[in-house]
Amino acid sequence: MSGASTVSAVSAVSTVSAVKPTVPLRGLIAALLLLLLLAAAAPARAHATSEAYLSLSARAGSATVVARLDIALRDLDEALALDADGNGEITWGELRAAHAAIAAYAGARVQLAADGHACAASVAGEQQVVEHGSGMFAVLPLAFECAAPPRELALDYRLFADSNPLHRGLLKLDNAAATTRSAVLDPTATQPQRFTLAQTEGWRTFATYVGQGVWHIWIGIDHILFLVALLLPAVLWRREGHWLAAASFTAVFWDVLKVVTGFTLAHSITLTLATLGWVTLPSRAVESVIAASVVLAAANNLWPLVGGRRWLVAFGFGLVHGFGFAGALAELGLPQGALALALFGFNVGVELGQLAIVVLFLPLAFALRGTRLYRGAVFIGGSAAIVAVASLWFAERAFGVQLTGWFG
């Protein structure tokens, strides 16, 4: 919003008390109490997002579906206690000792059927360890023996369904029609996911990744808090060092739309560049900068430096946020056509997920913008709470320290 439009809009504001830029002691105390309550109510060890990588290859005329399953060691350790001596490190010896347990655990939770008949799974090679962007993974080579060359596959994926509902499997399927497709596997799904091998399913891939884009925003608490930090001042315009209640919902809406769209455009740019392998950054550095962006966005509400151009902040830091999901997509190794469709669908989902948050937040915030509750507890206290939480994230991600069992 330009400076001229800001002044003209503020002049139409009804007489309201202004919010001073300083943080009141009561606001800080309320924010700290909120953090303590959240920490006390949270489980000792909260679920974190995780991915596994599953590739299936079904060749024409063959009744055998060759598979490779890459599972994060940290997820396996949580489920099977791989770290036998409890020293915080998983050695090759500990991993080899748990090979049979890992195969049994995965075999019971990743099952395949062809044309309505179950395929028999077996380990088809030596266990290996590889590194993906998010850490070290155990590689389990598998073979599914089916009764006949399959025309349709039904994949029942329930890996970590009982321990981490946020887990997702990323599937790459090479089929008899010499095409490659991708899918995101939800272990909590009630029905197996089906694939017709003689057909390509472009729109199904698109729809899958739209849903995952929405899901990525909704479970990405750091993305949500960054967005909320930018939305909190949207219904308050600043004039002469004070925050005043905005007069026009239409002006507020367009300002918010610029913020959300700026974030999505930036997110899309770096997501695409990273997934195509054109830009690569260390995941630890990316996650640390994402946490720092949340701190700075919320701190700007308490000690304003950036005024009405919050969309520039959203765009700038959105470039970093775009790397958050890129590693998982890049690991699929999809051909350009399928990858482009998945990227487009995912970015559409990100925008829809953000707009859903805006639809819930903005009308209520606009209705309360002139009250002490909003201007004191929600705006000041909420911004202070976000600064505190994101500062913990930054310390944990940048320096590798475990400060809490919930916020990290």
Q: What are the DSSP calls for 178-247, one per residue?
A: S-EEEEEE-TT-SS-EEEETTS--HHHHHHHHHHHHHHHHHH-HHHHHHHHHHHGGGGEEEETTEEEE-S
pLDDT of 200: 56
296-330 pLDDT tens trace? 999 999 988 876 678 888 899 999 888 876 765 66
Least confident of 48-57, 97-106, 120-129, 327-336: 327-336
**Alpha-carbon gap, residue 385 to 380, rounded angstroms:** 9
pLDDT bin (cut points 50, 70, 90) of residue 205 is confident
- Spell out where 9-63 has E strands: 50-58
Instruction: Give the pLDDT mean for 205-215.
Output: 79
Instruction: Give the pLDDT mean for 59-80.
Output: 91
Q: Is the pLDDT of residue 117 over 50?
A: yes
What are the tokens at 352? 């829809």
Instruction: Give the pLDDT mean for 246-275.
Output: 88
pLDDT bin (cut points 50, 70, 90) of residue 32 is very low
Closest by Cα among 4, 1, 6, 2 to 247:
6
Burial of 45 (0-12, 13-18, 19+ CB in 10 A): exposed
151-187 pLDDT tens trace? 899 999 999 998 888 888 988 888 755 566 778 888 9
Closest by Cα among 157, 161, 176, 138 to 61:
176
**Alpha-carbon gap, residue 201 to 180, rounded angstroms:** 10
339-366 pLDDT tens trace? 777 788 888 888 898 889 899 999 999 9
Q: Is the pLDDT of residue 111 over 50?
A: yes
Interacting residues of 261 by C-beta distance below 8 A, sequence separation 6+: 311, 351
The CB density around residue 44, as the number of other CB atoms within 10 Å, is 6
Q: What is the mean pLDDT of the chain?
A: 80
Q: Is the pLDDT of residue 13 over 70?
A: no
Q: Is the pLDDT of residue 81 over 60?
A: yes
- Spell out where 91-166 has E strands: 110-114, 117-118, 120-123, 128-132, 135-145, 152-157
What percentage of the chain carries pLDDT values higher than 70?
Answer: 79
pLDDT bin (cut points 50, 70, 90) of residue 209 is confident
First to last CA, the chain: 35
The domain spans of the chain are: 3-44+220-399, 50-201
Q: Is the pLDDT of residue 196 over 60?
A: yes
